[in-house]
Amino acid sequence: MPQLQLLRFDHAPALLAFERENRAYFAASVPDRGDHYFAHFDARHQGLMAEQAEGLCFFHVLVGSGGEVLGRVNLIDVEDGSAELGYRIAEKATGRGLATAAVREVCALAATEYGLTALRAVTTVDNPGSRTVLARTGFVSTGEIRIDGRPGVAFLRDLREAV
Protein backbone atom coordinates (compact mmCIF):
# COMPACT_ATOMS: atom_id res chain seq x y z
CA MET A 1 0.00 0.00 0.00
CA PRO A 2 1.39 3.44 -0.87
CA GLN A 3 2.50 5.62 2.01
CA LEU A 4 1.45 9.21 2.63
CA GLN A 5 4.48 11.37 3.42
CA LEU A 6 4.93 15.02 4.24
CA LEU A 7 6.67 16.62 1.26
CA ARG A 8 10.47 16.78 1.54
CA PHE A 9 13.19 18.30 -0.62
CA ASP A 10 14.28 14.86 -1.84
CA HIS A 11 10.80 14.15 -3.25
CA ALA A 12 11.42 16.72 -6.02
CA PRO A 13 12.59 14.38 -8.84
CA ALA A 14 9.76 11.86 -8.31
CA LEU A 15 7.21 14.67 -7.93
CA LEU A 16 8.31 16.30 -11.18
CA ALA A 17 8.09 12.94 -12.96
CA PHE A 18 4.58 12.45 -11.55
CA GLU A 19 3.45 15.88 -12.79
CA ARG A 20 4.97 15.38 -16.24
CA GLU A 21 3.58 11.86 -16.70
CA ASN A 22 0.07 12.92 -15.70
CA ARG A 23 -0.10 16.42 -17.18
CA ALA A 24 -2.59 15.63 -19.95
CA TYR A 25 -4.66 13.41 -17.64
CA PHE A 26 -4.96 16.15 -15.01
CA ALA A 27 -5.66 18.87 -17.58
CA ALA A 28 -8.82 17.01 -18.60
CA SER A 29 -10.44 17.82 -15.24
CA VAL A 30 -8.44 20.63 -13.60
CA PRO A 31 -6.71 23.72 -15.02
CA ASP A 32 -3.31 22.89 -16.54
CA ARG A 33 -0.29 24.04 -14.54
CA GLY A 34 1.27 25.54 -17.66
CA ASP A 35 4.77 25.35 -19.12
CA HIS A 36 6.13 27.82 -16.56
CA TYR A 37 5.42 25.35 -13.75
CA PHE A 38 7.63 22.71 -15.37
CA ALA A 39 10.36 25.12 -16.51
CA HIS A 40 10.76 26.52 -12.99
CA PHE A 41 9.90 23.42 -10.98
CA ASP A 42 12.99 23.50 -8.74
CA ALA A 43 12.39 27.09 -7.64
CA ARG A 44 8.71 26.32 -7.07
CA HIS A 45 9.57 23.27 -4.97
CA GLN A 46 11.90 25.40 -2.85
CA GLY A 47 9.07 27.89 -2.37
CA LEU A 48 6.63 25.17 -1.32
CA MET A 49 9.10 23.87 1.23
CA ALA A 50 9.51 27.39 2.65
CA GLU A 51 5.71 27.80 2.93
CA GLN A 52 5.49 24.45 4.67
CA ALA A 53 8.27 25.39 7.11
CA GLU A 54 6.28 28.52 8.03
CA GLY A 55 3.13 26.45 8.63
CA LEU A 56 1.23 28.18 5.81
CA CYS A 57 0.65 24.91 3.95
CA PHE A 58 1.13 21.18 4.42
CA PHE A 59 2.06 19.28 1.27
CA HIS A 60 1.87 15.48 1.10
CA VAL A 61 2.85 12.91 -1.47
CA LEU A 62 1.54 9.39 -1.84
CA VAL A 63 4.65 7.27 -2.42
CA GLY A 64 4.62 3.78 -3.94
CA SER A 65 6.89 0.91 -2.96
CA GLY A 66 9.42 1.86 -5.66
CA GLY A 67 9.68 5.47 -4.47
CA GLU A 68 7.43 6.80 -7.26
CA VAL A 69 4.89 9.50 -6.46
CA LEU A 70 1.37 8.21 -7.07
CA GLY A 71 -0.48 11.23 -5.76
CA ARG A 72 -0.51 14.51 -3.90
CA VAL A 73 -2.75 15.69 -1.10
CA ASN A 74 -2.18 19.28 -0.06
CA LEU A 75 -3.52 21.63 2.56
CA ILE A 76 -3.01 25.22 1.45
CA ASP A 77 -3.84 28.65 2.83
CA VAL A 78 -3.77 27.49 6.45
CA GLU A 79 -5.35 30.22 8.53
CA ASP A 80 -7.73 30.56 11.47
CA GLY A 81 -7.99 26.81 11.98
CA SER A 82 -8.87 25.93 8.40
CA ALA A 83 -7.24 25.17 5.06
CA GLU A 84 -8.12 24.28 1.51
CA LEU A 85 -7.68 20.65 0.47
CA GLY A 86 -6.41 19.74 -2.99
CA TYR A 87 -5.42 16.35 -4.33
CA ARG A 88 -4.54 14.48 -7.49
CA ILE A 89 -3.82 10.82 -8.14
CA ALA A 90 -1.77 9.42 -11.03
CA GLU A 91 -3.85 8.03 -13.87
CA LYS A 92 -2.25 4.59 -13.45
CA ALA A 93 -3.26 4.53 -9.76
CA THR A 94 -6.93 5.52 -10.08
CA GLY A 95 -9.81 3.23 -9.23
CA ARG A 96 -8.09 1.60 -6.25
CA GLY A 97 -9.42 3.82 -3.46
CA LEU A 98 -6.10 5.61 -3.02
CA ALA A 99 -7.59 9.09 -3.19
CA THR A 100 -10.24 8.26 -0.60
CA ALA A 101 -7.70 6.67 1.75
CA ALA A 102 -5.21 9.52 1.34
CA VAL A 103 -7.84 12.24 1.88
CA ARG A 104 -9.06 10.43 5.01
CA GLU A 105 -5.51 10.27 6.32
CA VAL A 106 -4.90 13.95 5.63
CA CYS A 107 -8.17 14.86 7.36
CA ALA A 108 -6.97 12.97 10.44
CA LEU A 109 -3.56 14.69 10.29
CA ALA A 110 -5.22 18.08 9.84
CA ALA A 111 -7.21 17.56 13.03
CA THR A 112 -4.63 15.81 15.21
CA GLU A 113 -1.24 17.10 14.02
CA TYR A 114 -1.96 20.47 12.44
CA GLY A 115 -4.70 21.65 14.82
CA LEU A 116 -7.22 22.46 12.10
CA THR A 117 -10.97 22.41 12.64
CA ALA A 118 -12.24 22.67 9.06
CA LEU A 119 -11.19 21.97 5.48
CA ARG A 120 -12.54 23.48 2.27
CA ALA A 121 -12.39 21.90 -1.17
CA VAL A 122 -13.65 22.65 -4.67
CA THR A 123 -14.07 20.58 -7.79
CA THR A 124 -15.57 20.97 -11.21
CA VAL A 125 -19.02 19.54 -11.88
CA ASP A 126 -17.56 17.33 -14.62
CA ASN A 127 -15.24 15.57 -12.16
CA PRO A 128 -17.53 12.95 -10.56
CA GLY A 129 -14.57 11.00 -9.14
CA SER A 130 -13.45 13.96 -7.07
CA ARG A 131 -16.98 14.69 -5.87
CA THR A 132 -17.29 11.04 -4.81
CA VAL A 133 -14.01 11.14 -2.86
CA LEU A 134 -15.11 14.29 -1.04
CA ALA A 135 -18.52 12.82 -0.17
CA ARG A 136 -16.94 9.57 1.08
CA THR A 137 -14.57 11.48 3.33
CA GLY A 138 -17.17 13.63 5.07
CA PHE A 139 -17.18 16.78 2.96
CA VAL A 140 -20.55 18.46 2.46
CA SER A 141 -21.48 20.60 -0.54
CA THR A 142 -21.85 24.27 0.29
CA GLY A 143 -22.96 25.43 -3.15
CA GLU A 144 -22.19 25.98 -6.78
CA ILE A 145 -19.20 28.06 -7.87
CA ARG A 146 -17.14 28.79 -11.00
CA ILE A 147 -13.61 27.42 -11.35
CA ASP A 148 -11.68 29.05 -14.19
CA GLY A 149 -14.98 29.68 -15.95
CA ARG A 150 -16.24 26.12 -15.46
CA PRO A 151 -19.18 25.08 -13.25
CA GLY A 152 -17.99 23.75 -9.92
CA VAL A 153 -19.02 22.81 -6.42
CA ALA A 154 -17.59 23.99 -3.10
CA PHE A 155 -17.32 21.63 -0.13
CA LEU A 156 -16.63 21.91 3.60
CA ARG A 157 -15.44 19.30 6.12
CA ASP A 158 -15.87 19.96 9.83
CA LEU A 159 -12.92 18.24 11.51
CA ARG A 160 -14.42 18.55 14.98
CA GLU A 161 -16.66 15.64 14.04
CA ALA A 162 -15.18 12.14 14.23
CA VAL A 163 -12.32 11.93 11.74
**What are the pLDDT digits (tens) for 116-138?**
999 999 999 988 999 999 999 99
Measure the CA–CA gap between 156 and 142, rounded to whole angstroms: 7
- H or E stretch including 38? helix 35-39
pLDDT surpassing 80 at residue 69: yes
Is there a domain that residue 163 lies in? Answer: no
pLDDT digit string (tens) for 91-121? 999 999 999 999 999 999 999 999 999 999 9
Q: What is the CATH number of the domain that holds 131?
A: 3.40.630.30
Beta carbons of 136 and 102 less than 8 angstroms apart? no
Beta carbons of 127 and 121 less than 8 angstroms apart? no
Is there a domain that residue 57 lies in? Answer: yes
Count: domains in the chain: 1
Q: Say which range, 76-85, 96-105, 130-139, 142-151, has the weakest mean pLDDT.
A: 142-151
Q: Domain containing 80: what range?
A: 3-158
End-to-end, the C-alpha distance of the chain in Å comes to 21
Is there a domain that residue 74 lies in? Answer: yes
pTM: 0.94
